[in-house]
Structure 1
Amino acid sequence: MRTLSPSALAALPPIGLEELVASSELLTRVDRKYALDRSAAELLLDLAPTGTRVLTIDDRRGFGYTTTYLDTPDLLTYQLAARRRRRRFKVRTRRYDTSGTGYLEVKTRDGSRTVKTRLDGDHLLEGRLDAEGAGFVRGALTAAGVSDRYVTELRPTLDIHYHRSTLQLADEGSRVTLDTGLRWEAADGTVLERPDLVVVETKSTGRACSVDRLLWSLGHRPGRISKYATGLAALDAALPANRWTRTLRDHF
């Protein structure tokens, strides 16, 4: 798995997990995503705004993740995103590869706002959500005004493996994540890898953060990229993918 240059991250001061969570725990937020090549991402780190710190745990500045997305047999959550439905959702599990710990997560979308709720632990049992996990997903969807009638149909659809570094921006309460070494594996075993792609995501309370403005000054604009939807579209050309045409053309 290719990751960002250690020297690019080493120049930034560290921040611990507890302080990061306390200073910028954004569960309701506006996300902006950028698809960059490795050299552009490392230039971003070199020019990072004053006071930017990088999450550091046991001297590690990047961490492996495995995310499993759940969808219905007819790919309802993918279709909602592809057809730009205002109210849409994703259900996924995420595992920290180093510790083996993880959680179940529901992301709901209403316009430009993303709301994320999570439940600690592994709640997949033989390819199904266990009772606690299913109840949690139902509650999260109901709270967001989304029908929960498809919860029993959710199955693992796509695994995504990647390496993430997380930045905290000074005095903004904003985070930036950089995902590298991206590898997708579909339920049928088909694999797609993009080792030179870096997905940068800014997470703020609304207005553009300092890293957004820096990226804009370097000629990069937010793009339409969903690690789940774009990856699935790249693996299956029969899926409707007009929303991600430019990203697919430029990076896949």
Structure 2
Amino acid sequence: MTTTFDLGRFEGIDLERLIADAALQTRVDRKYVLSQDAAARVVASLDARTLILDTGGTRSFRYESVYFDTPDLLSFHMAAQPRRRRFKLRTRTYVDSQTAFLELKTRGARSTTVKDRVEYAPSARRRLTDTARDYAAEGLDAIGVGGRRADDLGVRLTTRYRRATFVSADRAARATLDVDLEWDDVAGPVLTTPHLVILETKSPAAASDVDRVLWRAGHRPVSISKYATGMAALHPHLPRNKWSRLLRGPFAGALLHSPPTARPSMIRTEETSCADAA
């Protein structure tokens, strides 16, 4: 986490206590895209009683998400168009703890969103096992897409970032702060946004303390998907109307890099104790 964020002034909270105090099974998520300077001012304005996730003195954690899509980008196009049915499939790896999950988020014809996840082997995070494809097929069938499309799914985009997690003073809400954002496209370029921060609040229906701090500073929630917005930024020929304001504004200063010869990984190469399946 960049040194412009003063994370040391908050009391730490461990993961077990965070889950117990702020599980937020029913919640409203709001996302904001800010400059690093603006985000630093927001963090400085938070209530001093705010808690921050702390594991052994570490307060920002490395994340890697691998997104799967079909060759015709079915998942992307469903997100880009105003369709009720949509899905997103990814592995999410918590790099520092060397743990991973396979996550499937679906929305059916009645606009009900379902997010589910199962444990996954970090060593298998860039591929779908047979069990994982069955899991995806079941979710696609549930929203009327057709489970057979699960056979077409392959790696499309990898995102990497560092995240700090805050718990509000009243323990009723959480917020996450993502920095050092990177989008690594399987077809070529790598996109970085060193000047940007994505801040997400998670609260009951009422606005959280963090939302109110953001609103007072003139920031408003935006529609952003790390996968779909990143794909639109990397590939200008793709539909982009849904995120056009972001792409013309905050993402205008994004940097494109040639892909490295060897794709970077923050995961140890030795075998883990996890089974190599979902």
Instruction: Return the TM-score normalized by structure 2.
Output: 0.82
SS in 1 for 2:199: strand
Which residue type is aligned with residue 197 of structure 1? L
Q: Are the aligned partners of 2:6 and 2:43 in contact in 1 as well (CA < 8 Å)? A: yes
Which residue type is aligned with residue 191 of structure 2? L
What's the offset of the Cα at 1:226? 1.3
- Relative to structure 1, the CA distance from residue 221 to residue 15 in structure 2 (aligned partners, 3 Å threshold; closer, same or farther) is same
The aligned runs of 1:139-154 (5 Å cut-off) are 139-142=138-141, 147-154=146-153
- Match status 1:74 vs 2:109: no
Q: Which residue matches 2:15?
A: 17
Which residue type is aligned with residue 2 of structure 2? L
The aligned runs of 1:57-72 (5 Å cut-off) are 57-72=55-70
Moved more, 38-47 or 103-112: 103-112
The separation in 2 between residues aligned to 1:113 and 1:36, in whole angstroms, is: 29
Q: Which residue matches 2:82?
A: 84
What's the offset of the Cα at 1:77? 1.0
Q: Are the aligned partners of 1:161 and 1:184 in contact in 2 as well (CA < 8 Å)? A: yes
Instruction: Return the TM-score normalized by structure 1.
Output: 0.90
Unpaired segments of 5 or more residues in structure 2? 252-278
- Match status 1:199 vs 2:198: yes
Q: Are the aligned partners of 1:65 and 1:161 in contact in 2 as well (CA < 8 Å)? A: yes
Q: Which residue matches 2:2?
A: 4
Q: Are the aligned partners of 1:123 and 1:133 in contact in 2 as well (CA < 8 Å)? A: no
Q: Which residue matches 1:34?
A: 32
Q: Which residue matches 2:261?
A: none
Unpaired segments of 5 or more residues in structure 1? none
Aligned length: 250
For residues 102-140 of structure 1, the C-alpha deviation after alignment (integer angstroms, 9 at most, x for no partner) is 111112246886532111123885964112222333344
SS in 2 for 1:213: helix
Which residue type is aligned with residue 12 of structure 1? F
SS in 2 for 1:14: strand
Which one has a larger percent strand, Structure 1 or Structure 2? 1
- Relative to structure 1, the CA distance from residue 7 to residue 235 in structure 2 (aligned partners, 3 Å threshold; closer, same or farther) is closer
Q: Which residue matches 1:99?
A: 97
- Relative to structure 1, the CA distance from residue 22 to residue 146 in structure 2 (aligned partners, 3 Å threshold; closer, same or farther) is farther
The separation in 2 between residues aligned to 1:126 and 1:50, in whole angstroms, is: 38
Q: Are the aligned partners of 1:123 and 1:130 in contact in 2 as well (CA < 8 Å)? A: no
The separation in 2 between residues aligned to 1:218 and 1:14, in whole angstroms, is: 26
For residues 162-190 of structure 1, the C-alpha deviation after alignment (integer angstroms, 9 at most, x for no partner) is 00011112335321111000111100231
Larger Rg computed on CA atoms: 2
The separation in 1 between residues aligned to 2:47 and 2:92, in whole angstroms, is: 30
